[in-house]
Amino acid sequence: MQIHVVQRGDTLWALSRYYNVDMNQIIKANGLENPHTLVVGQSLIIPTPDLISHIVNVGDSLPSIAQQYGVSVQSILQANKLNIYSPIYPGQSLIVPTSSRTKIEVNSYTTNMSDKGAKEIANVGQYLTYLTPFTYTFKKDGTVITINDKSILAASKAQHIAPLLVLANLADGKFDSDLVAAILRKPNLQETLITNILNIMRNKGYTGLSFDFEYIYPEDRENYNAFLQRVVTKLHKERFSVSAALPPKVNDEQKGLLYEAQDYTAQGKILDFVILMTYEWGWAGGPPLAIAPINEVKRVLNYAVTAIPRNKIHMGIPLYGRDWKIPWVQGTFARVVSNQEAIRTAAKYGAEIYYHETYQSPFFRYTDETGQQHEVWFEDARSIQAKFDTVKQYGIRGISYWKLENQFTQTWVVQDYNFQVQKLL
């Protein structure tokens, strides 16, 4: 795999000739919606893996060949322009793409519980270890508010993805400090909540529980640790995993309601793994900035690996970008954009895409039909590769995407080049 940054005058035909790669492979690897329109500064994956030839023997199957070489079935299908229904036969020569790949766990959140969400899972399920449908919530009496997750759980099972039930302290769409305090300060209500959660997990086939408790009062720090230990003790008896999402701290004394009650050291000991929410520096209500500047992500990891075992850390990766109106005005909010929408916008307004070397993130500016100026930060193959390089640099357990609805083709191509996904089911 190579990443090519589009220059003025580039065409797909010329690139295919230069790299000696079929033009359709470039289109497919990048999910190009309009192959005839390239944007200066746009990153393109050029699928030129190291290749070996395998002669099919009697009894061979695509899964057995993939296992033999430590690659995915999908990569063999792509390299040979086959689909899952294509037969293979003894004596046939198959191209097998090979690379040195680290085995990791991969999680993704999803908020789409519809049949469309299930199709998204079916399309990319081979790249995921876990799926975390967002989200179950609860009331102050320990009652759990359920979601209609039947379709996506069925899709997860078909793709051998381990589903994790996410429990968040959301009320009316916002994280509620009082809601979680009501539970953390009353052990009897904790027992009620845990019992209710366990019943749902057993009935629906969840394999683990993942907490997303945010804006916990600082005085409930030890209560939260004790609650997590109580949950782990009960759920481990039934072989359920327990994990939690953590805000991006750079030291234990970091001030702010989002951070103070989150004890990296304690949770690193108690939980099976944690998900670091290493994104949202460029948040909707703030000024334009990369969503996950790699220099800031590394600051978080530098602290995290001193408090939490590396084999328990998932690094969060955003699959979305944002479009801000500029000059930015306090009280205004950016809108979320996907990778594809960002590229379409740049093409529409003739904007050139730039790449911030410190943040390792693409961005551009444009002026719309009303004369309003905009600044867009998003993710592409380069920024995703930079994050994967960081995962390998720190030797951590895995990655966690937010969120599947914003996923783009380049993500999975780059992931497959770098990592072998750990499947638990």
Whole-Å CA distances, 382 to 105, 117, 150, 316, 366? 21, 26, 36, 16, 21
Determine the residue type at 170: L
Residue 350 pLDDT more than 90? Answer: yes
Q: Which residues contact 22 (CB under 8 A, 6 or more apart)?
A: 16
Is residue 214 annotated as part of the catalytic site, yes or no?
Answer: yes
The catalytically annotated residue of 214, 260, 296, 341 is: 214
Q: What is the pLDDT of residue 131?
A: 98
Q: What is the pLDDT of residues 352-363, one digit of tens each?
A: 999 999 999 999
Q: Is 405 part of any domain?
A: yes
Q: Structural domain tally of the chain?
A: 1
- Whether the CB-CB separation of 195 and 203 falls below 8 Å is answered with no
Q: Using pLDDT thresholds of 50, 70 and 90, give the confidence band for residue 51.
A: low
User: What token pair was written down for 287?
Assistant: 């000024």
| β-pair partners for 4 | 44
Q: What is the pLDDT of residues 262-284, one digit of tens each?
A: 999 999 999 999 999 999 999 99
Rounded to the nearest integer, the mean pLDDT of the chain is 95
pLDDT at residue 373, rounded to an integer? 98
Amino acid letter for position 36: H
Q: What is the pLDDT of residues 60-73, one digit of tens each?
A: 898 888 877 777 88
- Rounded to an integer, the average pLDDT of 308-332 is 98
Q: Is residue 134, in this structure, part of any structural domain at all?
A: yes
Residue 259: which CATH number?
A: 3.20.20.80
Query: Which has the minimum average pLDDT: 99-108, 183-192, 221-230, 335-344?
Result: 99-108
Which pTM does this prediction carry? Answer: 0.89
In a domain, 59, yes or no: no
Rg (CA), the chain: 23
Sign of CA dihedral 147, 150, 151, 155: positive
Q: Is residue 49's pLDDT more than 80?
A: no
> Is 259 among the domain residues?
yes
- Are 162 and 132 a contacting pair, CB within 8 Å? no
pLDDT more than 70, % of the chain: 98
Give the mean model confidence (pLDDT) for residues 391-399: 96
In a domain, 31, yes or no: no
Sorted by sequence, the CB contacts under 8 Å of residue 179 that are 6+ apart come out as 138, 139, 140, 169, 171
CA 202/CA 184 separation, integer angstroms: 24
Task: Give the chain's end-to-end CA distance (angstroms, integer).
Answer: 29
What the block records as the tokens of 178 is 């009082």
pLDDT of residue 54: 80
**Residue 137 and residue 168 in contact, taking contact as beta carbons nearer than 8 Å:** yes
- Tell me what pLDDT residue 355 has: 98
Helices (H), 314-375: 339-349
pLDDT at 76: 86
Judge whether 181 lies within some domain.
Answer: yes
Higher pLDDT, 250 or 72: 250
409-423 per-position pLDDT tens digit: 999 999 998 999 999
Beta bridge partners, 317, equal: 401
Give phi and psi for 158, each to the nearest 5.
-65, -25
Instruction: Tell whether the model's pLDDT for residue 306 goes beyond 80.
Output: yes
Range of the domain at 249: 102-325+374-421
Residue 232 in domain: yes
8 Å CB contact between 262 and 249: yes
User: Hey, what are 118's tokens?
Assistant: 């299930």
Residues 85 and 83: their CA atoms lie apart, in Å, by: 5
Model confidence band, residue 130 (pLDDT cutoffs 50, 70, 90): very high
Residue 116 belongs to a domain: yes
User: At 81, is the pLDDT very low, low, confident or very high (cuts 50, 70, 90)?
Assistant: confident
What pLDDT, on a 0 to 100 scale, did the predictor assign at position 55? Answer: 83
